[in-house]
Amino acid sequence: MLGPGARSGISALPEVAWRRHARPQQCPARGARAPGVAMTSELDIFVGNTTLIDEDVYRLWLDGYSVTDAVALRVRSGILEQTGATAAVLQSDTMDHYRTFHMLERLLHAPPKLLHQLIFQIPPSRQALLIERYYAFDEAFVREVLGKKLSKGTKKDLDDISTKTGITLKSCRRQFDNFKRVFKVVEEMRGSLVDNIQQHFLLSDRLARDYAAIVFFANNRFETGKKKLQYLSFGDFAFCAELMIQNWTLGAVDSQMDDMDMDLDKEFLQDLKELKVLVADKDLLDLHKSLVCTALRGKLGVFSEMEANFKNLSRGLVNVAAKLTHNKDVRDLFVDLVEKFVEPCRSDHWPLSDVRFFLNQYSASVHSLDGFRHQTLWDRYMGTLHGCLLRLYHD
């Protein structure tokens, strides 16, 4: 009953059939091969008990180069001369590393998995390096997407970003997906944003803070792409984000809320309307001006300009606060700050030290205004703004 005839009769069963015929009867692609080629490599792998990680190849992979491009780049780096290897060896080595990285990528999406998995034996220092590099991002890229909604729509724009920045599309995708993944994970979580990111993605403190800024910006959709904001670096925004998270979010008042570090404190924003009195009440505005001018007379190189501009500047800063109840205006926060404060000062050539003197005095003198009752509110607002403005004030 086990004769060959019987077997081929049943081999129509798809799952069973191939084993029977795997060895003798197949070899399909052979005829297609060009004559004269003596041998072709079908399979070529290297597996170490400790997973080999080549940092240079990892970088090329992260940068989104294809195997062919990566081999070309490695050849250009002079590695063949250093090691006496052949191009074929380099090709095989690169393929191998790429395959390893590809397998590791799934784990890198949830870094704690990388630590607990059993398949790849990787020393802890190397694990940390893999994670840190995987989540690292390009300044040029992050500036393009900072404050944008991390959605499919934005993902479609990656093509343009890739062309504009010269970063490969593959790398752009990875960076975008990283932002999105971190966002999704920490979105609804309690506790400190930075801590959450660190705990779930095992990033260094520095990188976790950057991600906190990215998540915060994405959540509040702050506009950062306008032309007049182009002079600002990611670092500038990240600095502001940190101050705002510390002072303006729900977490600043209550550490047990969901989303506490991601969303701005709505109540606080509502209250900011109360600050309007500082510019609406003419007496209060004059008093404020005189207090600041008295204190700064002789100490400011640009005193006359300041004196002339005081009301405009103060109106600008207070109006920004008063408008923050509307989402649209929250998004334009940085545009407004630059328009209403940075640009006027810059056009008058205020040195940074003068800006600092002015802002110090401007914030402090409010405490001496007897008719003004919202001192705490003012401090919460101005304390953060003070830091942000100083950071934003550069060329």
Partner 1 sequence: MPGKLKVKIVAGRHLPVMDRASDLTDAFVEVKFGNTTFKTDVYLKSLNPQWNSEWFKFEVDDEDLQDEPLQITVLDHDTYSANDAIGKVYIDIDPLLYSEAATVISGWFPIYDTIHGIRGEINVVVKVDLFNDLNRFRQSSCGVKFFCTTSIPKCYRAVIIHGFVEELVVNEDPEYQWIDRIRTPRASNEARQRLISLMSGELQRKIGLKVLEMRGNAVVGYLQCFDLEGESGLVVRAIGTACTLDKLSSPAAFLPACNSPSKEMKEIPFNEDPNPNTHSSGPSTPLKNQTYSFSPSKSYSRQSSSSDTDLSLTPKTGMGSGSAGKEGGPFKALLRQQTQSALEQREFPFFTLTAFPPGFLVHVGGVVSARSVKLLDRIHNPDEPETRDAWWAEIRQEIKSHAKALGCHAVVGYSESTSICEEVCILSASGTAAVLNPRFLQDGTVEGCLEQRLEENLPTRCGFCHIPYDELNMPFPAHLTYCYNCRKQKVPDVLFTTIDLPTDATVIGKGCLIQARLCRLKKKAQAEANATAISNLLPFMEYEVHTQLMNKLKLKGMNALFGLRIQITVGENMLMGLASATGVYLAALPTPGGIQIAGKTPNDGSYEQHISHMQKKINDTIAKNKELYEISPPEISEEIIGSPIPEPRQRSRLLRSQSESSDEVTELDLSHGKKDAFVLEIDDTDAMEDVHSLLTDVPPPSGFYSCNTEIMPGINNWTSEIQMFTSVRVIRLSSLNLTNQALNKNFNDLCENLLKSLYFKLRSMIPCCLCHVNFTVSLPEDELIQVTVTAVAITFDKNQALQTTKTHVEKSLQRASTDNEELLQFPLELCSDSLSSHPLPPAKAVTVEKASPVGDGNFRNRSAPPCANSTVGVVKMTPLSFIPGAKITKYLGIINMFFIRETTSLREEGGVSGFLHAFIAEVFAMVRAHVAALGGNAVVSYIMKQCVFMENPNKNQAQCLINVSGDAVVFVRESDLEVVSTQQPTANCQSSCTEGEVTT
Burial class (CB in 10 A: 0-12, 13-18, 19+), 49: exposed
- Enumerate long-range contacts of 86-92, CB under 8 Å, 24 or more apart: 91/67, 92/41, 92/44
The set of residues, in sequence order, having a beta carbon less than 8 Å from that of 61 and lying 6+ positions away, is 70, 97, 98, 101
Closer residue to partner 1, CB minimum distance, 103 or 169 = 103
Closer residue to partner 1, CB minimum distance, 43 or 298 = 43
Size of the site for partner 1 (CB under 8 A): 63
Q: How far is CA 328 from the centre of its chain?
A: 22
Q: Cβ distance 197 to 211 under 8 Å?
A: yes
* 13-21, 246-254, 270-278, 381-389 -> range binding partner 1 (CB under 8 A): 13-21
Q: How many residues are listed for the chain in this entry?
A: 395
Per-residue buried b or exposed e for 204-227, using 16+ beta carbons within 10 Å of the residue's own CB:
eeebbbbbbbbbbbbbbebbbeee
Closer residue to partner 1, CB minimum distance, 34 or 256 = 34
Closer residue to partner 1, CB minimum distance, 116 or 152 = 116
Is 125 among the residues that bind partner 1 (CB under 8 A)? yes
Is 184 among the residues that bind partner 1 (CB under 8 A)? no
Is 36 among the residues that bind partner 1 (CB under 8 A)? yes
- CA-nearest of 82, 125, 332, 360 to 222 is 332
Is 81 among the residues that bind partner 1 (CB under 8 A)? no
What secondary structure letter does DSSP report for 156?
A: H
Per-residue buried b or exposed e for 111-132, using 16+ beta carbons within 10 Å of the residue's own CB:
beebeeeeebebeeebbbebbb
**Nearest distance, CB of residue 4 and partner 1, angstroms:** 10
**Nearest distance, CB of residue 103 and partner 1, angstroms:** 6
Closer residue to partner 1, CB minimum distance, 120 or 358 = 120
Is 32 among the residues that bind partner 1 (CB under 8 A)? no
Closer residue to partner 1, CB minimum distance, 46 or 231 = 46
Q: Which two tokens stand for residue 200?
A: 């779930």
Contact with partner 1 (CB under 8 A) among 8, 105, 123, 301: 123
Is 43 among the residues that bind partner 1 (CB under 8 A)? yes
Closer residue to partner 1, CB minimum distance, 142 or 202 = 202
Is 70 among the residues that bind partner 1 (CB under 8 A)? no
Q: How far apart are the first and last CA of the chain?
A: 88
**Nearest distance, CB of residue 107 and partner 1, angstroms:** 10
Q: Is 325 helix (H, G, I), strand (E, B) or coil?
A: coil
Is 19 among the residues that bind partner 1 (CB under 8 A)? yes
**Nearest distance, CB of residue 313 and partner 1, angstroms:** 51
- CA-nearest of 268, 277, 212 to 381 is 268
Is 153 among the residues that bind partner 1 (CB under 8 A)? no
Closer residue to partner 1, CB minimum distance, 12 or 166 = 12
Q: Cβ distance 98 to 70 under 8 Å?
A: yes
Per-residue binding letters, 84-103, with partner 1 (x by CB under 8 A): xxx-xxx-xx-xx--xx-xx
Q: Cβ distance 334 to 282 under 8 Å?
A: no
Which positions lie near partner 1, rule CB under 8 A?
Answer: 1-2, 10, 13, 15-16, 18-19, 21-24, 26-30, 33, 35-52, 83-86, 88-90, 92-93, 95-96, 99-100, 102-103, 113, 115-121, 123-125, 127
